[in-house]
Structure 1
């Protein structure tokens, strides 16, 4: 079957993009992918542009963009908004760098806790468990 202008059912589109049918429906509800009209015996037909749009969404997700951010990028997808797209990518890069710094801090804390577990002797409670009981609660939204 050639994939011309309107050759995909939702199932074949899902298979071609490597996503679940329900994922496509979710993207439709979020406004990321248009839901085509029912034609040809009430079967919706998707086009190559729908395939390209889903591939764009998946590519953007792979590099860390959220669905809301992808919606913004899709609005800029006419080729004349490169500066705005660059600004969104620059913000995403700052966010990623901050997450990496946060993860390095978590790594260092866990490294110390693991080392302290190996140094426990006698009737001392497990230093890792004891430390977790006494950790201050985070005021942020991340755990």
Structure 2
């Protein structure tokens, strides 16, 4: 692939495994710079767009929010220190660990509740009882 070659949105989508509508969305919210257009109005993306879109996709796969990605891109575009990126990554890791703890709590509650359920045609259901109960 030539470094300065330009390509359309369909090819960008294929090269990055990002849906066309998602690419357009990232442009609208300012994560991906709008590319130049042909006289016919077609977008012409560069290898820099491809590289940035891969960065965004990988960040999303790791669970970063759009605001967190915007922050990371700001670090990349400015003069950043690796420590700044590490700080952002560790903050995200802390958030992930909290989510995992919440998911484990939910798993235990649901497993315990489902284990008390006898199934069948009984009118009383412990699962419905737990779901209907106010927390606290």
| Range class of TM-score, shorter chain | 0.7 to 0.9
Backbone CA RMSD of aligned residues: 2.3
Deviation for aligned residue 1:40: 5.6
Q: Does 1:129 align with 2:128?
A: yes
Which residue in the other structure is 1:45 paired with? 44
Per-residue deviation at 1:81?
2.7
Length-normalised TM-score, structure 2: 0.87
Q: Is the 8 A contact 1:6 1:45 kept in 2?
A: no
Instruction: Provide structure 2 residue ranges, at least 5 long, that are not aligned to the other structure.
Output: none
Deviations 1:52-99 (A, max 9, x none): 100000111111101111010001115633222111111111001101
Which residues of 2 match residues 25-104 of structure 1 at below 5 A?
25-39=24-38, 41-78=40-77, 80-104=80-104
Partner of 1:141: none
Question: Residues 101, 92 of structure 1: CA spacing in aligned structure 2 closer, same or farther, 3 A cutoff?
Answer: same
Deviation at 1:39, TM superposition (A): 3.5
Gaps of 5+ in 1: 138-143
CA distance in 2, matches of 1:129, 1:43: 54
Equivalent-residue separation in structure 2 for 1:47 and 1:132 (angstroms): 52
TM-aligned CA distance change 1:42 to 1:125, over 3 Å: closer
TM-score by length of 1: 0.83
Who is 1:17 aligned against?
A: 16
